[in-house]
Amino acid sequence: MKNIDKELIEWAINKIETEFKGEISLLLGRKGACKGPEDGDDMAFDFFIPACDHGYSLARTFIIDDMGYDLFPMTWKRIEGLAALNEGIAFCLADSEILYARNDADRERFELLRKTMFNNLKNKDFIYTKSLEKINSAMDIYKTMLFEKSLGNVRKAAGGIIEYLSQALAIINGTYINRDYGYSERMKQINILTNIPANFLKNYEEILRAKEIETIFKEVHNLMEETREFFEQFTPERKLKSYNYDELAGWYEEARYTFRRIAYACKNNKFVDCFNLGCFLQIEFDILTEEAGLDNMDLLGSYDADDLSNFKKCAEEIEEYIVYEIKKHGVVLRKYDNLEEFLEKNDRGI
């Protein structure tokens, strides 16, 4: 079929300059936008940025000679999101050409956001954090997928997981998923990235070829597990803010009650109490590790409903460690031998 992209661009610009004068900030296009490999890669309009509510009326979806077209709007706020790599269509910002600009200010605003995106891709802390967001999105889909019984729904979920993990890998490599490759060429783009998990492409292809739900579950698990382990190497060195160890002392003074309950539960073989108290404290320990820079404290790893001795010992060792950290930082615990001492010192304001 005849390529009419040039004529459609002229139509859109004329429409903007006559019917929507001053109401469209930018008209953007990309080579091969919304085209298949057989349609060529001429410059075609892709999306526009409206400057007011009425500007949204420029949006069109239509078919000419069996070819579908979509002239769609994106807000400045959404473009800012692309600069922050919030969506998988970052290529709309990275690769687009300005076909029409209302003024130089709008043109410069877009180019500044494009520059911001590429600067973000050079920022190691930024790309690590953004990659983790994509992995967490994949994890959310994965947790739901495990309860699906429909092969179609499982495949759909696997596709979403692959998409987010592919974005994560592209970003950690300082780039973005390039739509010019197309879905059928996605593996080629991933393959040329400098750093990828060793079996990522293998697991990817196994998912595409899988015919049974259990096989997809297995291969998606392998894909998730290896990708998560792969990203550990990029964990930035933790930069702790100054921490007030008086707060840790206050936390421990309150938590002493929970440690006593664990000791009692262990002594009396109350494994249900041990488990639930352990879960409560483990959440607190993980927060302290993050906020106070304390060592990793794994209490629940020692839990055994049939033998609570290791759990009891682990709780005692963690308690001793926390007290040691409090004292090491020069903080004195508010600890009294009896009620009389408490009353005496508090009456004197001590």
Residue type present at position 166:
S
Q: Is position 102 within any domain? A: yes
- Domain ends where: 100, 120, 140? 120
Together in a domain, 194 and 253 = no
Of the candidates 270, 318, 327, which has an alpha carbon nearest to the alpha carbon of residue 298?
318
Together in a domain, 225 and 145 = yes
Dihedrals phi, psi of 32, to nearest 5 degrees: 70, 15
Tokens of 216: 């997809």
- Domain ends where: 190, 212, 234? 234
Together in a domain, 9 and 116 = yes
Together in a domain, 115 and 14 = yes
pTM of the predicted model, to two decimals? Answer: 0.81
Together in a domain, 135 and 191 = yes
Dihedral sign, CA of 262, 267, 273, 279? positive
Together in a domain, 136 and 103 = no
Q: How many angstroms separate the CA atoms of 221 and 110, rounded?
A: 40
Of the candidates 188, 281, 196, 255, which has an alpha carbon nearest to the alpha carbon of residue 231?
196
Together in a domain, 320 and 260 = yes
Pairing of strands 67-73, 24-31: unpaired
Q: How many residues are listed for the chain in this entry?
A: 350
Structural domain span for residue 323:
245-347
In the sheet that 60-64 helps form, which strands lie side by side, from edge to edge?
60-64, 67-73, 43-50, 24-31, 97-101
- Domain ends where: 187, 208, 234? 234
Together in a domain, 129 and 204 = yes
Q: Is position 197 within any domain? A: yes
Q: Is position 54 within any domain? A: yes
Together in a domain, 114 and 181 = no
Q: Is position 183 within any domain? A: yes
pLDDT tens track, the chain, 350 positions: 678 899 999 999 999 999 999 999 999 998 866 666 566 678 889 999 999 999 999 999 999 888 888 999 999 999 999 999 999 999 999 999 999 999 999 999 999 999 999 999 999 999 999 999 999 999 999 999 999 999 999 999 999 999 999 999 999 999 998 875 556 677 888 888 999 999 999 999 999 999 999 999 999 999 999 999 999 988 877 665 678 899 999 999 999 999 999 999 999 999 999 999 999 999 999 999 888 889 999 999 999 999 999 999 999 999 999 999 999 999 988 888 888 878 877 876 65
Number of domains the chain is built from: 3
Q: How many angstroms separate the CA atoms of 277 and 271, rounded?
A: 10
Q: How many angstroms separate the CA atoms of 31 and 35, rounded?
A: 9
Q: pLDDT tens digits, residue range 91-124?
A: 999 999 999 999 999 999 999 999 999 999 999 9
Together in a domain, 43 and 71 = yes
Q: Is position 106 within any domain? A: yes
**Is 65:54 a contact under the CB 8 Å cutoff?**
no
Dihedrals phi, psi of 182, to nearest 5 degrees: 75, 160
Together in a domain, 88 and 156 = no
Q: Is position 240 within any domain? A: no
